[in-house]
Amino acid sequence: MSSLMVMVLVIISLVIPAVRPSEDSWTLKCLSTVGIVDQKTVIKCNFINIQDIKIETVSLKRTTHKEPIFKYFKTYSGDPRFSLENSTSGPSLQISKTKFADEGEYQYRVVTNRGEKKVQLGITITANYKNLTSSTWPKDVTDGGPADLYCNATDGYPAGFIHWFDRSGTNWTMNSELTNVYKDTNGLKSVALSSKLTFRSINLELGPFRCIVLNSKYVQEEEMTLHLPSAYTESSVTSNTTHIVAGVMVIGSLIVGLLCALLIFRKKNVQHGRRPSGQPFLSYDDSGNNAEDDLESGYKLPLSADEIETKP
């Protein structure tokens, strides 16, 4: 009888471990997370190979600490910035206002109605660049002269990059020099970026230039356009204006001369085609004297042949 009981216990001990793996086959997976200072950060976590699971409690602690910084068991406790993103859809976490102090390695423990799981997760914190400015040296850049173009950005983290492009999209970054200045004030980290693009002889037709700020992942964060003076100098503009004015004056003189000639020609044509105004047509004798003139002078006109014959 005793031997029979031993055999039953052995069979039970063998069956129970065979059942447990099927129940524990589900897993908890959390992705590495990059958070941005002063913004909301979501730590994506999912249950794998299981459905109809209910979260009962969670806790999050740093791997170097014993006590959790955040707990959930019907209510939240610990750091009020931490919470479950949506407890009904999964165990993902969110940080309402991210700080540099949140960066590090964590252990995340999740207890459900189907058992509990623990997983390691990491959080990396970054800061966006801002206060983008640009300038030139000398201030009044001239075409063909030396020039330095500057672009600066601050308060970003970690160190990023500044790229230069001309108006056609050509990348001039290889001709530039980038300087990084690191700061860490009471755990508040930042990097100031300063880039200088140097020309021994600048072609102003390449402008305007654009300086683009990229973060450590080469994702664009800021952009600024640096406008340069026109490639046409003041003297060339003055010379062009003088030539234009001179040309206008010559053309204007030709037009005025042509109009005067047309007016004179028209006046002569009118005078040739007009008879004396207000005077009657007069007859002239054979001697060429005007008959009206003879009357006024008292002379008697000569008689005609008919008149001579009728005289007694």
Q: Report, as an integer, the average pLDDT of 25-33.
A: 92
Burial letters 36-57, b for 16+ CB under 10 A, else e = ebeeebebbbebeeeeeeebee
Burial class (CB in 10 A: 0-12, 13-18, 19+), 207: buried
Give me the helices (H) in the chain, please: 2-23, 234-272, 291-297, 305-309
> Does residue 23 carry a pLDDT above 60?
no
Residue 110's H or E segment, with its range, is: strand 104-112
Q: Which two tokens stand for residue 152?
A: 């600066």
22 pLDDT above the threshold of 70? no
Residue (of 212, 206, 210) closest to 226 by Cα position? 210
User: Between these two residues, 179 and 5, which has the higher pLDDT value?
Assistant: 179
Are 157 and 144 contacting, i.e. CB atoms less than 8 angstroms apart? no
Say if residues 218 and 173 touch (Cβ distance below 8 Å).
no
What does each C-alpha distance from 32 to 41, 79, 116 come to in angstroms? 12, 20, 21
Sheet-wide strand order for 104-112: 33-36, 115-126, 104-112, 55-62, 70-73, 75-78
* CA 221/CA 228 separation, integer angstroms: 23
Give Cβ neighbours of residue 130 (< 8 Å, ≥ 6 apart). 153, 154, 155, 156, 222
Per DSSP, the three-state class of 69 is coil
Q: Which of 216, 212, 210 is nearest to 182 (CA)?
A: 216
Average pLDDT for 99-124:
95
**Distance in angstroms (rounded) separating the CA atoms of residues 272 and 260:** 19
Residue 127: other Cβ atoms inside 10 A: 23
pLDDT digits (tens, 9 = 90+) for 41-88: 999 999 999 888 999 999 999 999 999 999 999 899 999 999 999 877
Structural tokens at position 9:
């216990």
Least confident residue range of 115-129, 141-155, 227-241, 278-292: 278-292
Closest CA to 178 of 164, 165, 161, 191: 161
Domains of the chain: 24-126 (2.60.40.10), 130-226 (2.60.40.10)
Residue 303: both structure tokens together: 């008689």
Per DSSP, the three-state class of 44 is coil
End-to-end distance of the chain based on CA atoms, in angstroms? 209
pLDDT at 251: 75
Q: Give 123-173 pLDDT, tens digit per residue.
A: 999 999 999 999 999 999 999 999 999 999 999 999 999 999 999 999 999
User: Which token pair is 70?
Assistant: 């955040």
CA nearest neighbour of 187 among 74, 104, 293, 266: 104
Distances (CA, A) of 86 to 55, 91, 94, 277, 282: 11, 7, 9, 113, 126
249 against 212, higher pLDDT: 212
301 band by pLDDT with thresholds 50, 70 and 90: very low
